[in-house]
Amino acid sequence: MSATIESPRSGRIAPQYRRHGGSKGNFEMIAWLFMRLSGVVLVVLIFGHLFVNLMVGEGIHAIDFGFVAGKWADPFWQFWDLAMLWLAMLHGTNGVRTIINDYAEKDSTRRWLKTVLYSATVVIIVLGTLVIFTFDPCPVVDGVPLPGGFCPA
């Protein structure tokens, strides 16, 4: 005869298993799911980014201001880079948040490290987003086009 073991949440075992209903809601579950979903998308976005920028044609030697101007003239690459920026920053920030929670033992140390982390995340995401959407292939300073720009003839 074999003993039947009740599943933990069946409510038929004592003491009854009760999930700790903290104030954080299901944030940690959403964060866990986000890491997996964004991870899959990032594999495609970053492998595509590396292939197009480093493997095709002259590879790294082709990268200069004109290369960026050529890519961002196309909304497809603007949104590719935007998605990569947001997903990679949020994925990386959540990863470092986990590492801080694991290794920083004092509450004050954790709070301080996370403040630095979140500040850096906001600055980089805002900066990167502005750069993608305010990019100007023909920058002009005091009425004079800067050298190296791509200006309409």
For residue 122, state whether it binds other proteins (rule: CB under 8 A).
no
Give dist(CA 68, CA 78) in Å, integer.
10
Give dist(CA 5, CA 19) in Å, integer.
20
**Contact predicate 35/95, CB 8 Å:** yes
Give dist(CA 138, CA 149) in Å, integer.
5
Residue of 1, 14, 40, 144 that binds other proteins (CB under 8 A): 40
Residue of 11, 48, 70, 148 that binds other proteins (CB under 8 A): 148
Complete DSSP assignment for 1-41: --PPPPPTTSS-SSSPP-----TTTTHHHHHHHHHHHHHHH
For residue 135, state whether it binds other proteins (rule: CB under 8 A).
yes
- Least spacing, CB of residue 82 vs other proteins, in Å: 12
Burial class (CB in 10 A: 0-12, 13-18, 19+), 137: middle
For residue 53, state whether it binds other proteins (rule: CB under 8 A).
no
Residue of 96, 100, 104, 113 that binds other proteins (CB under 8 A): 96
Residue closer to other proteins by CB (options 15, 105) is: 105
Residue closer to other proteins by CB (options 8, 147) is: 147
Classify the C-alpha dihedral 121-127-128-130 as positive or negative: positive
Radius of gyration (Cα) for the chain, nearest Å?
24
For residue 116, state whether it binds other proteins (rule: CB under 8 A).
no
Given the rule CB under 8 A, which of 1-9, 10-18, 22-30, 126-134 is the region that contacts other proteins?
126-134
Applying CB under 8 A, the residues found at the interface with other proteins are: 36, 39-40, 42-43, 46-47, 50, 54-55, 58-61, 63-65, 68-69, 85, 88-89, 92-93, 95-96, 99, 120, 124, 127-128, 130-131, 134-136, 139, 146-149
